Amino acid sequence: MELKPVTLEVDGINIAGQLYLPGSDMSYPTVCACHGIPAGIPDPSDRGYASLAEKISPHGFAVLIFNFRGAGASGGNLDMLGWTRDLEAVIDYLCALPQVDNSCLSLLGFSGGAAVSVYAAAQDRRVSAVVACACPAEFNIFVKGDNPRSLIDHFHSIGAIRDEAFPPSPQKWLNGFELVRPIDYIAQISPRPLLLVHGSQDETVNVSHARRLYAQAGEPKQLAIVEGAGHRLRHSDQAMDIVIDWLKALLK
Protein backbone atom coordinates (compact mmCIF):
# COMPACT_ATOMS: atom_id res chain seq x y z
CA MET A 1 0.00 0.00 0.00
CA GLU A 2 1.24 3.46 -0.89
CA LEU A 3 0.44 6.48 1.32
CA LYS A 4 0.48 9.98 -0.13
CA PRO A 5 -0.02 13.14 1.97
CA VAL A 6 -2.48 15.63 0.50
CA THR A 7 -2.83 19.38 1.11
CA LEU A 8 -5.44 21.46 -0.68
CA GLU A 9 -6.25 25.15 -0.36
CA VAL A 10 -9.93 26.06 -0.16
CA ASP A 11 -11.05 29.62 0.60
CA GLY A 12 -7.47 30.32 1.71
CA ILE A 13 -7.66 27.44 4.23
CA ASN A 14 -5.35 24.41 4.19
CA ILE A 15 -7.26 21.12 3.99
CA ALA A 16 -5.12 18.15 5.02
CA GLY A 17 -5.57 14.55 4.04
CA GLN A 18 -3.95 11.25 3.09
CA LEU A 19 -4.44 9.17 -0.03
CA TYR A 20 -4.07 5.39 0.29
CA LEU A 21 -3.28 3.54 -2.93
CA PRO A 22 -3.20 -0.25 -3.39
CA GLY A 23 -0.37 0.37 -5.89
CA SER A 24 0.70 2.99 -8.43
CA ASP A 25 0.53 1.21 -11.78
CA MET A 26 -3.16 1.68 -12.66
CA SER A 27 -6.34 3.62 -11.85
CA TYR A 28 -8.46 2.34 -8.99
CA PRO A 29 -12.08 2.57 -7.86
CA THR A 30 -11.93 5.23 -5.19
CA VAL A 31 -13.59 5.89 -1.84
CA CYS A 32 -13.57 9.34 -0.27
CA ALA A 33 -14.26 9.15 3.47
CA CYS A 34 -15.96 12.14 5.12
CA HIS A 35 -15.85 12.39 8.91
CA GLY A 36 -18.59 13.75 11.13
CA ILE A 37 -18.95 16.90 13.21
CA PRO A 38 -16.48 16.83 16.13
CA ALA A 39 -18.23 15.88 19.35
CA GLY A 40 -15.39 16.63 21.73
CA ILE A 41 -11.65 17.13 22.08
CA PRO A 42 -9.92 14.48 19.93
CA ASP A 43 -8.71 11.32 21.68
CA PRO A 44 -4.96 11.00 20.92
CA SER A 45 -5.22 7.20 21.14
CA ASP A 46 -7.81 7.08 18.35
CA ARG A 47 -6.13 6.69 14.93
CA GLY A 48 -9.27 8.09 13.35
CA TYR A 49 -10.05 7.25 9.77
CA ALA A 50 -6.59 5.88 9.01
CA SER A 51 -7.70 2.51 10.40
CA LEU A 52 -10.74 2.58 8.14
CA ALA A 53 -8.65 3.42 5.07
CA GLU A 54 -6.30 0.56 5.89
CA LYS A 55 -9.29 -1.77 6.08
CA ILE A 56 -10.80 -0.68 2.73
CA SER A 57 -7.73 -0.17 0.52
CA PRO A 58 -6.54 -3.83 0.46
CA HIS A 59 -9.77 -4.70 -1.35
CA GLY A 60 -8.48 -2.81 -4.39
CA PHE A 61 -9.68 0.72 -3.61
CA ALA A 62 -7.87 4.01 -3.49
CA VAL A 63 -9.06 5.73 -0.30
CA LEU A 64 -8.83 9.41 0.56
CA ILE A 65 -9.30 10.53 4.14
CA PHE A 66 -9.16 14.21 5.03
CA ASN A 67 -10.18 16.73 7.66
CA PHE A 68 -12.84 19.29 6.91
CA ARG A 69 -12.04 22.85 7.99
CA GLY A 70 -12.12 23.20 11.77
CA ALA A 71 -11.05 19.59 12.35
CA GLY A 72 -7.79 17.74 12.82
CA ALA A 73 -4.79 19.00 10.88
CA SER A 74 -6.86 21.26 8.61
CA GLY A 75 -7.11 24.98 9.24
CA GLY A 76 -10.13 27.20 9.58
CA ASN A 77 -13.30 26.92 11.60
CA LEU A 78 -16.24 24.53 11.55
CA ASP A 79 -18.70 25.82 8.96
CA MET A 80 -21.25 23.61 7.25
CA LEU A 81 -21.36 25.49 3.95
CA GLY A 82 -17.56 25.64 4.06
CA TRP A 83 -17.54 21.86 4.41
CA THR A 84 -19.46 21.56 1.14
CA ARG A 85 -16.75 23.61 -0.60
CA ASP A 86 -14.04 21.48 1.01
CA LEU A 87 -15.62 18.32 -0.37
CA GLU A 88 -16.08 19.86 -3.81
CA ALA A 89 -12.35 20.67 -3.88
CA VAL A 90 -11.49 17.14 -2.76
CA ILE A 91 -13.60 15.67 -5.58
CA ASP A 92 -11.85 18.00 -8.06
CA TYR A 93 -8.50 16.78 -6.76
CA LEU A 94 -9.40 13.11 -7.01
CA CYS A 95 -10.86 13.39 -10.50
CA ALA A 96 -7.59 14.90 -11.75
CA LEU A 97 -5.46 11.99 -10.50
CA PRO A 98 -4.39 9.27 -12.96
CA GLN A 99 -4.61 6.71 -10.13
CA VAL A 100 -8.35 7.40 -9.69
CA ASP A 101 -10.94 5.68 -11.86
CA ASN A 102 -13.38 8.53 -12.44
CA SER A 103 -16.16 6.10 -13.33
CA CYS A 104 -16.13 4.68 -9.81
CA LEU A 105 -15.85 7.43 -7.18
CA SER A 106 -17.85 6.72 -4.02
CA LEU A 107 -18.43 9.00 -1.05
CA LEU A 108 -18.44 7.33 2.37
CA GLY A 109 -19.81 9.78 4.91
CA PHE A 110 -20.42 9.59 8.64
CA SER A 111 -23.01 11.71 10.47
CA GLY A 112 -22.37 15.35 9.47
CA GLY A 113 -19.95 14.14 6.81
CA ALA A 114 -22.70 11.89 5.47
CA ALA A 115 -25.00 14.91 5.25
CA VAL A 116 -22.40 16.84 3.27
CA SER A 117 -21.83 13.76 1.07
CA VAL A 118 -25.53 13.59 0.20
CA TYR A 119 -25.56 17.33 -0.56
CA ALA A 120 -22.46 17.10 -2.77
CA ALA A 121 -23.55 13.98 -4.65
CA ALA A 122 -26.95 15.47 -5.42
CA GLN A 123 -25.21 18.25 -7.34
CA ASP A 124 -22.09 16.53 -8.69
CA ARG A 125 -22.56 13.68 -11.17
CA ARG A 126 -18.90 12.74 -10.88
CA VAL A 127 -19.90 10.94 -7.68
CA SER A 128 -20.93 7.43 -8.73
CA ALA A 129 -22.25 6.08 -5.39
CA VAL A 130 -22.92 7.20 -1.81
CA VAL A 131 -22.67 5.42 1.53
CA ALA A 132 -24.28 7.46 4.32
CA CYS A 133 -23.59 6.17 7.84
CA ALA A 134 -25.54 7.55 10.82
CA CYS A 135 -26.83 10.34 8.58
CA PRO A 136 -29.27 12.89 10.02
CA ALA A 137 -32.30 13.72 7.91
CA GLU A 138 -31.88 17.31 9.10
CA PHE A 139 -29.84 19.14 11.73
CA ASN A 140 -32.51 20.15 14.23
CA ILE A 141 -31.03 17.46 16.48
CA PHE A 142 -27.89 19.63 16.74
CA VAL A 143 -29.36 23.10 16.36
CA LYS A 144 -31.94 23.79 19.04
CA GLY A 145 -33.67 27.11 19.34
CA ASP A 146 -32.98 30.30 17.45
CA ASN A 147 -29.89 31.42 19.38
CA PRO A 148 -26.69 29.90 17.92
CA ARG A 149 -24.44 31.30 20.67
CA SER A 150 -24.41 28.19 22.89
CA LEU A 151 -23.56 25.96 19.92
CA ILE A 152 -20.76 28.30 18.82
CA ASP A 153 -19.40 28.38 22.39
CA HIS A 154 -19.42 24.57 22.46
CA PHE A 155 -17.41 24.33 19.25
CA HIS A 156 -15.00 26.97 20.58
CA SER A 157 -14.47 24.85 23.70
CA ILE A 158 -13.48 21.73 21.72
CA GLY A 159 -11.31 23.54 19.18
CA ALA A 160 -13.56 23.18 16.12
CA ILE A 161 -14.00 26.97 16.02
CA ARG A 162 -10.56 28.47 16.59
CA ASP A 163 -10.93 32.18 15.80
CA GLU A 164 -12.56 34.42 18.38
CA ALA A 165 -14.17 36.59 15.70
CA PHE A 166 -15.75 33.61 13.94
CA PRO A 167 -18.43 33.45 12.74
CA PRO A 168 -18.96 37.07 11.67
CA SER A 169 -22.71 36.38 11.49
CA PRO A 170 -23.83 33.71 13.98
CA GLN A 171 -27.28 33.45 12.43
CA LYS A 172 -25.91 33.03 8.91
CA TRP A 173 -23.54 30.36 10.24
CA LEU A 174 -26.46 28.56 11.88
CA ASN A 175 -28.50 28.79 8.67
CA GLY A 176 -25.77 26.78 6.95
CA PHE A 177 -26.96 23.71 8.83
CA GLU A 178 -30.46 24.26 7.49
CA LEU A 179 -29.23 24.58 3.91
CA VAL A 180 -27.43 21.20 4.01
CA ARG A 181 -30.47 19.08 4.92
CA PRO A 182 -30.07 15.55 3.51
CA ILE A 183 -33.83 15.02 3.38
CA ASP A 184 -33.99 17.79 0.75
CA TYR A 185 -31.33 16.21 -1.50
CA ILE A 186 -31.42 12.45 -1.01
CA ALA A 187 -33.79 11.82 -3.94
CA GLN A 188 -31.35 13.50 -6.34
CA ILE A 189 -28.73 10.78 -5.89
CA SER A 190 -30.81 8.33 -7.95
CA PRO A 191 -30.15 6.56 -10.33
CA ARG A 192 -26.74 6.19 -8.67
CA PRO A 193 -26.56 3.58 -5.88
CA LEU A 194 -27.16 4.62 -2.27
CA LEU A 195 -26.46 2.68 0.93
CA LEU A 196 -27.77 3.96 4.26
CA VAL A 197 -26.23 2.36 7.36
CA HIS A 198 -27.51 3.13 10.84
CA GLY A 199 -27.16 1.72 14.33
CA SER A 200 -30.35 0.59 16.03
CA GLN A 201 -29.08 2.16 19.28
CA ASP A 202 -27.72 5.40 17.83
CA GLU A 203 -27.68 7.81 20.76
CA THR A 204 -27.11 10.93 18.64
CA VAL A 205 -29.18 10.46 15.46
CA ASN A 206 -32.25 8.31 16.04
CA VAL A 207 -32.66 5.42 13.62
CA SER A 208 -35.92 7.01 12.44
CA HIS A 209 -33.78 9.47 10.45
CA ALA A 210 -32.43 6.61 8.32
CA ARG A 211 -35.92 5.32 7.64
CA ARG A 212 -37.11 8.78 6.58
CA LEU A 213 -34.15 9.18 4.23
CA TYR A 214 -34.69 5.72 2.78
CA ALA A 215 -38.36 6.47 2.12
CA GLN A 216 -37.45 9.69 0.30
CA ALA A 217 -34.56 8.23 -1.74
CA GLY A 218 -34.88 6.90 -5.27
CA GLU A 219 -33.68 3.54 -6.54
CA PRO A 220 -31.30 1.79 -6.34
CA LYS A 221 -31.10 2.05 -2.57
CA GLN A 222 -30.39 -0.15 0.42
CA LEU A 223 -30.94 0.35 4.15
CA ALA A 224 -28.88 -1.61 6.69
CA ILE A 225 -29.83 -1.30 10.35
CA VAL A 226 -27.02 -2.67 12.53
CA GLU A 227 -28.60 -4.13 15.65
CA GLY A 228 -27.04 -2.89 18.87
CA ALA A 229 -24.72 -0.40 17.18
CA GLY A 230 -24.47 3.21 18.31
CA HIS A 231 -23.52 6.40 16.48
CA ARG A 232 -19.81 5.82 15.81
CA LEU A 233 -20.23 3.22 13.11
CA ARG A 234 -16.62 3.26 11.95
CA HIS A 235 -15.86 1.40 15.19
CA SER A 236 -18.41 -1.32 14.33
CA ASP A 237 -16.84 -4.24 12.46
CA GLN A 238 -20.30 -5.40 11.43
CA ALA A 239 -21.21 -2.01 9.95
CA MET A 240 -17.91 -1.61 8.10
CA ASP A 241 -18.11 -5.16 6.72
CA ILE A 242 -21.52 -4.25 5.29
CA VAL A 243 -20.03 -1.12 3.71
CA ILE A 244 -17.02 -2.90 2.21
CA ASP A 245 -19.11 -5.76 0.82
CA TRP A 246 -21.51 -3.25 -0.77
CA LEU A 247 -18.65 -1.27 -2.33
CA LYS A 248 -17.09 -4.46 -3.70
CA ALA A 249 -20.45 -5.54 -5.15
CA LEU A 250 -20.60 -2.28 -7.14
CA LEU A 251 -17.52 -3.37 -9.06
CA LYS A 252 -19.31 -6.49 -10.32
At 141 the pLDDT is: 60
Q: Please give the DSSP secondary-structure letter assigned to residue 8.
A: E
The answer to which of 68-82, 95-109, 140-154 has the lowest mean pLDDT is: 140-154
Q: Average pLDDT of 113-132?
A: 98
Q: Is the pLDDT of residue 146 over 80?
A: no
Domain boundaries, the chain: 2-250
Q: What does the pLDDT look like over 193-247, one tens digit per residue?
A: 999 999 999 999 999 999 999 999 999 999 999 999 999 999 999 999 999 999 9
Chain CA centroid to CA 236, Å: 16
At 45 the pLDDT is: 64
Q: Please give the DSSP secondary-structure letter assigned to residue 16.
A: E
Fold category of 2-250 in CATH: Rossmann fold (3.40.50)
> What's the pLDDT band for 150 if we cut at 50, 70, 90?
confident
Q: What does the pLDDT look like over 55-66, one tens digit per residue?
A: 999 999 999 999
Q: Are 129 and 151 in contact (CB under 8 A)?
A: no
pTM, full prediction: 0.96
Cα distance between residue 209 and residue 111, in whole Å:
11
In degrees rounded to 5, what are phi and psi of residue 30? -125, 140
Three-state DSSP class for 111? coil
